[in-house]
Amino acid sequence: MNIPELPVLSTKLYIPQPRTRLVARPRLIERLKAGMGRKLTLISASAGFGKTTMISEWAAGCERPVAWVSLDERDKDSLRLLTLLVAALQTIEQHFGEAVMRAIQFQPPPEAESMLTMLLNEISTMPFEFVLVLDDYHAVGDRQIDYTIAFLVEHLPPQMHLVIATRENPQLSLSRLRAGGHLTELHDTDLRFTAGEAAEFLNQVMGLHLSAEDIDALEHRTEGWIAGLQLAALSMQGRNDIPAFIRSFAGDNRYIVDYLVEEVLQRQPADVRNFLLQTSILDRLHGPLCDAVTGQNEGAARLQSLEQGSFFIVPLDDRRQWYRYHHLFGEVLSIHLRTDQPDLIPELHRRASEWYGRHGSYAEAIGHALAAEDFPRAADLIEQAWATMRRSRQESAVLGWIQALPKEIIRHRPVLSVEYAWALLAVGQVEGAEERLRDAERCLENSSLDRTSETSATDMCYVDEEEFRRLPGTIAGYRAAYAQAMGDIPAAITYSKRVLELVPADDHLRRGAAAALLGLAAWTSGDLQEAYRMFSEGMANVRRAGNISDAIGGSIALADINIALGRLRQAMDIFQNGLLLAAEMGTPETRGTADMYVGMSELSREQGDLDAAMQHLHRSQELGEPMGLPQYPYRWRVAMARIRQSQGDLDGALELLQEAEQRYVGDFFPNVRPVWALKARVWLALNRWSEAAEWVHEQGLSTTDDLHYLREFEHITLARVLLHRHPSNLAPIQETLDFLERLSQAAANSGRTGSQIEILILQALAHHSRGDMSSALASLERALTLAEPERYVRMFADEGQPMAALLEAAWNGGICPNYVRLLLLSFGKEGSGSAAKKAVGEPLSERERDVLRLLKTDLSGPEIARELHVSLNTLRTHTKNIYDKLEVNNRRAAVRRAEELDDL
């Protein structure tokens, strides 16, 4: 069975057309029109008061475009609700919200609030005003949905007016909206039929000939309840003694619906009655679907007849092909079906599942199979739908389906077990994946059993033949991912290599994933050269397979590895090439681009260009969290915290790091620079040594620890804590120096130049603190030699006055004079490096050097701006700064002067 990907159901976006026989309600229409200048119109009334009918009548004459969403209980999810909102808005603006729709498919998806922010920003650019209607909101109302809608209302752009129709008030700040003049409300008392409206409805719409006295009696007894009047009218059709019926029509409203429906049903022919009851299992009614469920053959005609007869049926499209029952009517029909024909219900669901399956609607097919408790069929459908669901990153939906199956069904289907394992891994439930993979492996061992034999379901394995051949490689790949997530690096390596043995050479995606996992294992182990080689190979294969977005996301890991290797320029190239690749795809806002701007910010900050660092972070923030990977909220806050620290705002830095700690999400990448170590460094800068020392104690850190790359950053932080505690005590300092030497050797042996530079800086400061200037300058010179090719700045400048003094001594000693000159000037007032300032003017920033290198080419100004991903105004600002610093007034003179100063 071929099951294609299904878009949002268009019937959920259909604006119900006003009935031709309709009671005009101008007093309510005028109130709706008057509320258009406010943010929200809330129509909150009990079932059967004509909310949908009234809004559809108003929408037909509305002067603004109207987008409509009919909600149901399956929409109780913020991401699904956002999908529907975008799809509805696309009915009035075709390309609206495309970036949000892409973001919703990410796994795990970004937070709803961040995507809603993207949506609101896009709405604020729309050149016209419009209305969005959320009908039947009560079906989805819960705390999270209410929070999402509250955020929408609070930040609603003036272009949009929101209408909510519901049976009960949503948990929004209604009192605040009322006080602010932002709310229009209609309730039961507003929607009740007046005596005149009741008369028009009963006599003209329903075709009765009632006296004024009878109408008054019915209106009084139903209290203007429209559904009650309609059911009463249906019950009266064909009766001889209508006044007697009206006189007996009394009692508590809780029983009116059951009474009237029963009266209506009993008066219908058996085939119509059966049709109504049996089709009540369906959320949407369609002629052929109804025929399949009921076994009759006049479904389309019956639906049209029901609509014409003013039964509780609502059309869902313009062509009158799809309908639904009024929710209240459908609920009562379901109750009667469970009473009258309970044994038939599973068979009805099974027929519905088969019809939906034949027509490629897998979600409905699976839902009805589960309702029928036909679990083998549901399992078959889930297996067939898996490829499509995974491509669209809907593992969460699959997980819900699988978890509704009996465990025995899952355990004896290897393909389903493997799909279950990946769905768990994808949503972060790592531990549960192991058991599912074991079930699949057990089934593989017994795969020689004949599926057509008489063996029971508990004694044999069911498999999807198409997927069965791929299972060994798939299981090995998932085991590698599981091991990497659990920190079992040897197992991750073993299983990744197993994938490469099992998977054919042309399966670029699986081979690429396996190579990338080997790269991650090497990275976790500290072998960065091998990590870079294998991860690069993996991403090349992923790109060859056509998964460009995954390759773009992988560039972030490649850049991080380069940063650890001390290759800042190469890391910057990777980020910029990733952005170019996204642009070549025609989707410059591909997921991961926000992270690349964060990475570029970190590099700009390290190279001393805080302005460029802030620009990159602002650009990243403009893209928003949906354009970032799961770690983006954490990474952004860490990057901003480090800028704040470089600016001297230590309290602001600490606040951001605390936020980052709360937003951290574990993934397959090693956490080599944990936020708690960064917090300890800020505590030291704030002279809060006791808190840093408490952190050391909690982590169990010691100078006698065995060294491992995963703890290298923490160990370097430990050395900082010890030096801060004993700035001039020789014995503790010597112990720290010995520890630093061990760390330096480990970093040097594995080519981790970034760590090595920082360790040498700490060694220089430690020697200087005890008066050993010769050793201090020796360590500093080694650090400068490693750092100069990549233009490290903040690594030195953030050490403050002690480093300024050391650099003054290096300048006087002629050590790396051009580079030391640059570093001294980065200190500003704290450590001015007066000798250097007298010798030269202010140096160019790294971003200004990038501009200058392109000024040397034949590119025009706009072409240079595009190359650097900056605006033309930003380029002009950089160019002016270059001219001022080099004391020139044109690009040729600037290039010539920079070459003379060896500053290109």
Domain boundaries, given as residue ranges, for the chain = 10-191, 195-266, 619-829, 847-900
With residue 315 as reference, give the H or E element that holds it.
strand 313-315
Query: Which residues in the chain land under pLDDT 50?
Result: 1-6, 251-254, 448-460, 829-840
Query: Would you state the pLDDT for residue 304?
Result: 85
Query: Would you state the pLDDT for residue 388?
Result: 73
Q: Coil, strand, or helix at residue 152?
A: helix
Distances (CA, A) of 14 to 9, 724, 855: 9, 68, 56
Structural Rg of the chain based on CA atoms: 35
Whether the upstream peptide bond of residue 269 has omega within 30° of 0, thus cis, is: no
Q: 847-900 maps to which CATH number?
A: 1.10.10.10
Alpha carbon distance 598, 572 (integer Å): 11
For 866-872, the CB contacts below 8 A with 24+ separation are 869/576, 869/579, 870/615
Query: Would you state the pLDDT for residue 446?
Result: 74
Sign of the C-alpha dihedral computed for residues 838, 844, 845 and 846 taken in this order = negative
* Lookup result for tokens 């920033």: 845
The rounded Cα 256 to chain-centroid distance in angstroms is 46
Of 447, 508, 493, give the one whose Cα is nearest residue 472: 447
* Residue 185 · residue 42 · CB < 8 Å: yes
The beta strand positions in 651-773, using DSSP E, are: none
Candidates 3.40.50.2000, 3.40.50.300, 3.40.50.1390, 3.40.50.150; CATH matching 10-191: 3.40.50.300
Take residue 201 and report the two structure tokens written for it.
């409805």
Sign of the C-alpha dihedral computed for residues 855, 858, 864 and 868 taken in this order = negative
Take residue 815 and report the two structure tokens written for it.
């050590």
Query: Would you state the pLDDT for residue 371?
Result: 94
Query: Would you state the pLDDT for residue 559?
Result: 94
Q: Concatenated DSSP letters for 831-888?
A: S--HHHHHHS-PPPPHHHHHHHHHHTSS--HHHHHHHHT--HHHHHHHHHHHHHHHT-
Alpha carbon distance 535, 520 (integer Å): 7
Candidates 3.40.50.2020, 1.25.40.10, 3.40.1160.10, 3.40.50.80; CATH matching 619-829: 1.25.40.10
pTM value is 0.64
Query: Would you state the pLDDT for residue 306?
Result: 81
CA angle centred on 737, ends 734 and 738, rounded to 5°: 90
Q: Which residues contact 538 (CB under 8 A, 6 or more apart)?
A: 511, 512, 513, 514, 515, 516, 517, 518, 519, 554
Exposure of 407 by Cβ count < 10 A (0-12 exposed, 13-18 middle, 19+ buried)?
Answer: exposed
